[in-house]
Structure 1
Amino acid sequence: MLLNILDNLTIGIILLDDMFRVKYLNEYIRKLMDREKVENLTGIGKTFGELLQCKNTELEVECGTEKSCKSCDVNIFLKKVLKSDSLDEEELVSITNQMKFKFDGNFEIKGKKIILEKEEYVQLEVYEVTKIKELERDLLEKAKTELKLNTILNTTEDLVFYLDSEGRIQYLNTAYANFIGKPYSEILGKKELDFFPAEMAIKCLSNNEQALTKGDYFEEEKFGDNWFSTFKGRVELENNEVGILAMIRDITKYKEMGFELEEKAYKDSLTGLYNRNFYEDKLRMLYLENIETPCSLMVLDIDNFKSINDTYGHISGDEVLKKLSSILKICIRKDDYLIRMGGDEICILIFSEISAAQDIAERIFKNLEKLRELEQADKVAFTVSIGVVEKKGYESLDNLCERADKALYSAKESGKSKFIIN
């Protein structure tokens, strides 16, 4: 049974006695060399050097000539193996100090002394160097690639890390270590929940599960004063290991640029209120998303605004618009929307019952009255009229605006400087 095992190995096994005579060759060696001559040499007192000469007649050259005698090289090697004294009192003992030498340029041999039934033997293991070199080359290329990749990952400002299927951190780059504020050794093998507050840790567990079972996870969110984008994706490694590759990027400056562009696109430069573009692009969608929520709309304009412009000039008219906008901003609630539709027409969208809109209208008139009392006589005094409506069922925003315009017209017709609820 043991011989069958040895014959099926993918390395060569040669057993020599203390005189370096061949006692055993496994099937790998028999296939490697001339089988007929090998069979004739085995067990009949021929040395390993003579076995090599069966393969190449140049090996018959004696020592001391210009050519190197490989059989002598072999004998030197074998003697070094036998002289090793690092043996245990076992029936079969491996030598820890193994010698190596090249064999026909394509193979490498390792030798070790063994004890069989108190007799010393040399066991040779023959490895095909070509395969070993290919493996070493592949490993070297892989190491170079990993080194290059690691260098790239450690120079990026993005936080990059790898989690195993249990959520333990198995790789992290320098940026992630700096973000956590601990050395690598204190982070590797730990979980995200070991470093983050409970609320954030629960979110990490949730998005890890999503990445592993439902597909990639991506989100933009704000922590403190900064905005971050988080990506987590499932990866399968060569050893069939499943894990999560994660990257977190600080996108604060991009968000701020986006906010600035949005500010220019959707804000009125004179008053700082939202403009008509916001109404068309954002407010319509917002209205539909909250179609089940109670909603009220106010539409107002400045009484006799054309006369103010004609009498005092457009600069004074602009000042009136600015003052009105300032008053409106302090009268509405945090979640209400102020939009300058054009000219002096302004609408206020309120996601609440009509009573909230009525309270806002009353605050507007109260604060405008205070403004007139405080301002000097040479300042342009102005009043406003307001139309207020409440959404009915699944009424469209356009229809709601149309009804609010009618309410505003009624306020104008009934004397101005008032609000009417329709």
Structure 2
Amino acid sequence: MEKYDKLESIYETLFKIIPYAVLILENGEIVDCNQTAICMFGYENKDDIIGVEPFKLSPTIQPNGLISDEKGKAQIQYALSNGNHKFEWVHKKSDGSVFFSEVILSKLFTEGSNTICAIIRDVTEWKIMQNKIKESENKYRSLFEKSNAVMILIDPETKDIVDANDAACVYYGYTKEKLTSLKITAINVSKKEDLYVQMESAKNKKTNYFCFKHRLSSGEIRDVEVYGGLIEINSKKLLYSIVHDITEKVMFEQRLMIQKSYFKQLFENSPDAIAILDNEGKVISINLAFKDLFQYDLDEIKGKLITNIICIEGNHEEDMNCTRIVQSGKIIRKETIRKDKQGNLIDVNLLSYPIIYNDKQIGIYSIYTDIRERKKYEEKIQTLAYTDSLTGLYNRAYFIDRLNYEINKKENKNIGIMFLDLDGFKKINDTLGHVVGDNVLKSFADRIKKYVRKEDIIARMGGDEFIILLPNVEKNEEIIDIAKKIVQNLENIFVIEEHNLYLTTSIGISTYPSDGTDAHTLIKNADIAMYKAKENIHSKIEVYSHRASSELKEKFIIDNDIRSAISKNELYICYQPIVDVMKKKIIGAEALLRWNHSELGSISPSEFIPIAEKNGCINSIGNWVIENVCRQNKLWQDLGYKNIFVSVNVSVRQLEEKDFVEKIKSILKSTNLDPRYLEIEITESAYMENIDNIISELKKLKDIGVGISIDDFGTGYSSLSQLSRLNIDKLKIDKSFVDNIENNDTNIKIVGAIIMVAKSLNIDVIAEGVENKRQLSILKKQRCKKVQGYVFSRPLTPDEFEKRLIRQ
């Protein structure tokens, strides 16, 4: 009896200290377990496991697709019938996570019942490692098989081809079975002695490079270069060969020899004058075109410096410097003037570059192209290029050239710039037509001429914009006086084709050097001042001010650059998670547009969205956002993440587009996204502007399955009847009600009222701007189940958001 008690004590100790989970099963229930089992399954004590059916510790569906309790009963029955049974299984912990295990079931022979001892070992890490090894093997096998490079493996002892990739089979024209039945000598037609020496070299040196001739299955012989070396696979040493076909390269080298023979003919018959010089610039040879252009025979100039023969007087030092540049290995390209034997000047394009042989400079090529006819043509074009065809004034290009000239004149004290724009000119074009508009511009140009000085330059910049250059200005008052005369003169009626037109102009003024020291800056600042003059209801003349220009400059840049922000890839989209606080799961996201300007850096949507709405860019930007959001959401779905909705803020200007809904349909079709995963979000104040039209558009969106939500709710003046007419899916409580809600009873009541109203209308509620756990707790008490804010996450890039999806 004492011996029995001692043996039982030993078994009890083993039961407690064994590093595996041990479960004692009796009649299908757990009747005992050790501490390791309690920890392994994530429970606190033995009572949490005792009495539980073992299948409750398994996921509902096993990897093999069978229901766990049916499969599990079969395993137990097998153990009861056979005494022992070993198998792999998947178990579930108390927190819902799963782990892989190896299970040994042993039948215990006790009186009165069928008792099973289950020993469970966690093999999750082994499983993961096993999968990684398999994945790695598959990866490198795939690289070998799918590589475009021709690869073969050779047994260095038997010279057998033991493996080849698909590219090798295609290249040699054999099936893999046939190719791997051959010896390397069957395809390598080089001398066997040479081949074996090279193979031995590759085996000893690990890697090597060779050139061979290989035979294809068709019998064709190809030149190849082989990069080979020794590798070990499954404890067996093999030679690998990466084969690259160089037949074309060899043929090219042969053709090169032929092409060299063509050079002399090309040199002699080139339409451009060519001189071959030594490194000092002395003539070695000239072609026929050189003789025709400069009227020299080779015998007259051979051995003489080219600069002493055809360079014009006074430019010898410059030309010698060009020769020195080419002597240093650089290339010269420039327009210049040369002279012929009779002293006639010739405009030429000069291309001069070093002659290199075996990495050494052995001479100089100088090629001269006669451009006299082109220069005459360019002079005619230049006259036209500097004139505005409509008004007869100078154009922008001439104005900038002249302004640069005036800036570079040392005697100038001040230079004035006036930038003029006709107010309301677009309406004239739209209502009376472009013919009347053109006549207005011509009449305006004629009036300006009357009030400027003789030395002033007037140019048309384009459209209805004009600019005046006033050199040698003593005081700024002179510029302002001229500007006032122009403005006052416009008070007189313009009679254009029997139309009496009243015009005004806005004038911006900048001065050199106080407002800029280069043409670009002066024009830009005058333009900025002109835009400020347009905003000024009291005066149509504005002098550039450094203090007041910063904001205007920024708006000006935003207004101009927002049009190209998409093409420059400066716009991007972030996604802020929307979380179900009860399930602690991401159920959606709000797409937030961002702009990283190349000059201004990050620009707030509150700054650029109103400008985009005003200048009409919002529609193209909005469509771009919707398309990219749909494409991104579909990508997440295709990657296997849980389907979520993404809401996109839409401007009322977009909803006013006649084909807005059709564009949404087109985007959904092209991206293959189910409409229910797209949500259109409008602000409460936006839909109040045109409620009937907005309701109509929203209904069309609802009909195709797109979700609708109201953003910033509580800041507008919605009525219950309007909410019901809108037939929306969600209300987003404005951030202003969530801010400081923990210290504001009124905000708590407002939020509670919004939730109650929404619930009565069967509308979901999302709280925006939730930043801390205290706010979250209050919202939970108010039965707000969905929130968005920094308490969970800031707005994320698509990659960052994807990582959040992976973790849930």
Alignment TM class, shorter chain as reference: 0.3 to 0.5
Q: If the length of structure 2 is used for normalisation, what is the TM-score?
A: 0.25
Q: If the length of structure 1 is used for normalisation, what is the TM-score?
A: 0.43
